Amino acid sequence: MKKNFILALLVILVAVASCSFTNKSFDNDNKDKFLLELISYVLERGHYEPKEVNDSFSSNVFDDFIEVIDPTKRYFLESDIREFEKYRFMIDDEIRNTDIEFFNIVYQRLMVRMEEAKEIYKEVLSTPFDYTIDETIEIDYDDQEFAANKKELKERWRKQLKYNTLAGFENKIENKWRASIVESGGSPQDDDALVNVSYNEIPSSIDKALTEEEAREVTKNTLDEFFDFVDDLEREDWFVQYLNTIVEEFDPHTFYFAPEEKEKFDIGMSGKFEGIGARLQKKPEGAKIVEIISGGPVWRDQSLEVGDQILKVGQEGEEPINIVGMRLEDAIKLIKGPEGTVVELTVRKVDGTIETVSITRDVVELEESYAKSATINAGDQKYGLINLPKFYVDFEDYAERNAATDVAKELERLKEAGAEGIILDLRDNGGGSLKTVVEMAGLFIKDGPIVQVRSSGQRKEVHEDKDERIQWDGPLVILVNELSASASEILAAAMQDYKRAVIIGSKQTFGKGTVQNVIPLDNIVRGNDHGDLGAIKLTTQKFYRINGGSTQLEGVKSDIVVPDRYSYIDLGERDQQNPLGWDKITPADYKVWDGYIDFDEAVKSSKERMAKNEQIRLIEENAKWLKEQQDENLISLNYDAYVSKEKEAKKRSEKFKSLRDYDSRLTFSSLQYEQELFTQDSVLREKRDRWHKDLARDIYVEEAVNVLKDLHKNNIKKKENELASVKG
């Protein structure tokens, strides 16, 4: 592969910045202002398509920041917005002058309004709601104005809280009614008799007032937890939101990471971290364990379980620190640590007992982030399926584990298992490492270009596979949907341009045709006295198919379009704010794959099957209905009207339940190496069993198998023709 031009660009950028950003350049000790100027500098010099920071830019930041921090318009008043308006066309000047007055005044007012909101919701929820009156709530907040005064704001909160409570109230009524029927020896089978009755027809045996009070208490507890989370946020957390409002005006994928968020990003990309292997949730009594990660230290040790609450955290040989009331992020910092070190946890067990448990930290791999495979038994034929959630990579040790090497291993295992065709499932795969996708594409072709990349104002660069080895030369189908993005689109586009694979899925993929590089801001500053500055994920390039077209906005159009639940819902790059535009460049020099004959015939046959498939028609109908539900913005707060609407929705949804009952009659199995792991890992066995059951209900996988069968036949024909030609 040619040397990536962007590395040279970043070297220049860092060199220039290192000269400019010194303590002399910043005589202001305020870290916020320091970050604002530093990020502005990087954006101006490093972004693929830098924007002019002018009054229009300022106005957009103004509107977007207010929307980010008060999206439902339940905090600020109309008078607040009028007061803020004087800054609408001043933010660009503030950015140039490293001023943050707009942020300060908005943040300070938000803190006041949030304190007032706490009193409002508690007061509103102290009084019963009347569900017999006719009133509605509009839940499309974009077109709403801010409340004119506090009385109007309180009324807005009242309707919202009533709406939040209504569903819980209706659900509790139904459950109590069911319970009463069971207690009297009946069988609650008739849903219409149970659910779809008017408020006045609810049996007197059910205390409606008490039930309504219980539902309000649930809503109050939810709000208590929300504001408890908000109280944990510090000023710097809100300032990061402001910085990202500015940054995202350049494009939706340029993003500033605060130091903790950068660490989370690295974990997401590598699929691993050093810690104890448990997911935690903040509770008033401490940090509650909500999931134990299979294969991690806690899982191996078996001394903790889901539901246990961590009260204190001690490092080996040191006095433990009480984490009750501590921010969850700060508690996690204490719990995590280098591989091989010991953390001592004081835990309240599920049964109420208090124990101190010592856990040796280790590298924890997030198994669900990695490629996994299964064999498909279709009559007397066997195929393989590889599911790839993302194009992961360990930035610190690329050779240790990455998506390309893992997929190569799975291909070898599937070949050994006798697979006659491969399905690569990239649905919901949001992308990842550009390097890994180029290497992965090379597994399926002899050699040649995979993707073209262009930096701003520079000539294009062609990323090629130069390894003539082919890991898999048999039939190949790639599954995509609207959420297949970035690296997924590079792979699907390359395989489509080579006619190496049949692409089955949504009308088009996500449409993210840009490349981002993560730049630690500490690397750009000399003499930094402000601590860890985090990093910026910066759009530095656009990538193009080898045929010259960009995937930006347009995505990859499937060879065989199959509807899914997202078909009529706004998704994709074209629905993001500030996306870069579509364009094209000259094509690369490549040769179409010669492994198949009648490739187009296989696509034609599939389309004919899909047109006759009743399950596909039902999926299409379901997608349209989901769009209707999404567009329903006016909700009745009258119990009878609400239940009637629920009855109608339930009747429609019942029709679509059969989608989950579909049986492709295909059977799926784990490979031998994984089956051997099941003897020690029952959690992994359960995960795989659940996955295989889902695959058996998946009509897209079923059609992919049908296409593989057609391609397999075509391959046999080709070999027979070649053999006949040799004999002739």
User: pLDDT digit string (tens) for 404-431?
Assistant: 999 999 999 999 999 999 999 999 899 9
Q: What pLDDT does residue 222 have? A: 85
- pLDDT per position as a tens digit, 358-389: 989 888 766 677 899 999 999 889 999 999 99
Q: What is the pLDDT of residue 79?
A: 97
Q: Compute the average pLDDT of residues 450-471.
A: 91
The pLDDT of 34-40, averaged and rounded, is: 93
Task: State residue 6's pLDDT score.
Answer: 33
Show the tokens assigned to 130. 């009347």
Gap between the Cα atoms of 155 and 165, Å rounded? 15
DSSP output for 439-493:
HHHTTTSSSEEEEEEEETTS--EEEEE-----S--S-EEEEE-TT--THHHHHHH
Using alpha carbons, select from 57, 701, 132 the residue that is nearest to residue 378.
701
Residues of the chain with pLDDT > 90, as a percent, come to 52
Higher local confidence (pLDDT), 129 or 598: 129
Instruction: Classify domain 272-365 by CATH number.
Output: 2.30.42.10
Query: Domain boundaries in the chain?
Result: 5-121+236-257, 272-365, 367-712
The identity of residue 618, as a single letter, is L
When mean pLDDT is compared across 7-11, 58-62, 127-131, 162-166, the lowest value belongs to 7-11
Specify the higher pLDDT residue, 506 or 654: 506
Q: What are phi and psi of 586, to 5 degrees?
A: -70, 145
CA distances for 468 relative to 67, 216, 399, 443, 622, angstroms:
52, 66, 20, 9, 46
Long-range contacts from 695-699, C-beta under 8 angstroms, 24+ separation: 695/374, 695/376, 695/385, 695/666, 695/668, 696/663, 696/664, 696/665, 696/666, 696/667, 696/668, 697/660, 697/661, 697/662, 697/663, 697/664, 698/664, 699/562, 699/613, 699/615, 699/616, 699/619, 699/662, 699/664
**Is pLDDT larger for residue 727 or for residue 679?**
679
Residue 212 pLDDT > 90:
yes
Cβ–Cβ < 8 Å for 21, 98: no
Q: Alpha helix locations (H) across 296-402?
A: 297-301, 328-335
| pTM of the predicted structure, to 2 decimals | 0.83
Q: What backbone phi and psi angles, to 5 degrees, belong to 540?
A: -120, -15
pLDDT at 16: 34
Q: Which of 146, 25, 156, 5 is nearest to 84 (CA)?
A: 146
Q: What are phi and psi of 77, to 5 degrees?
A: -100, 165
Q: What is the mean pLDDT of residues 521-540?
A: 84
pLDDT of the residue at 253: 93
Q: What CATH homologous superfamily does 367-712 map to?
A: 2-enoyl-CoA Hydratase; Chain A, domain 1 (3.90.226.10)
pLDDT tier at 727, thresholds 50, 70, 90: low
Would you place residue 262 in the very low, low, confident or very high pLDDT band (cuts 50, 70, 90)?
Answer: low
Q: What is the pLDDT of residue 379?
A: 85
Q: Which residues of 154-179 are buried (b: 16+ CB within 10 A; e: fewer)?
A: bebbbbbbbbbbbebbbebbbebbbe
Min mean pLDDT across 124-128, 376-380, 448-452, 701-705 is at: 376-380
Average pLDDT score over the chain: 86
CA 493 to chain centre: 22
Average pLDDT over residues 439-454: 96
